[in-house]
Structure 1
């Protein structure tokens, strides 16, 4: 088996998610152990507990992972989605990512008495 080497750097990316890119150059062992180690290092350095969520892209020398902060909810608007949530459904209260949250507009707002400047979204399930 070939020996794999990794090196990591963290980059802030977006609302409540952090992206860290793992360059395969300076760590020995399985990628999962490396990711876990880097999450622990990040927590120690910045005081924010993070967890790996899912691989975003893998190229020849790089693998990018989205890391979730504790307290940053994950989308449950559709089965299998694990993107960081950006809003909570006005009707049922579940958390949704940008793909599964839809603004409540027009007659629906008036009918339910949603106040003028209130940001309100509905999930994919409640929308149907």
Structure 2
């Protein structure tokens, strides 16, 4: 299986930003563990702080990969364009969040993307990504 993980804005700072919310591990460290856990799958990783680049990546892999795990960061709550990109591709997308967005600010309780996704996983720390991969591989 080919799985693309896409991380949005500020997720390049995992391990150094708001450690009480996001933990103290970089995503690259976590990704190495995921690849070891799932050697039978090709797991690719992409991160951008730019909305249009995230859309371009969705378009690029959305017809050739078997699954996409996407943490769009704050764009989750604001981007009709990313929601439309997800609706326009064939590959199933699982929306993930490291934190429990429902324990945070009210604006984070609304996802523009969720209606176009296979499912949403939130609040399990970095393990949210593993749970999303599990949901794609069953």
TM-score range, shorter chain: under 0.3
Identify, as 1 or 2, the structure richer in helix.
2
The one of the two structures with greater contact order (alpha-carbon pairs below 8 A, sep at least 6) is 2
Structure number, greater radius of gyration: 1
Counting strand residues as a fraction of each chain, which structure ranks higher?
1
TM-score scaled to structure 2, two decimals?
A: 0.25
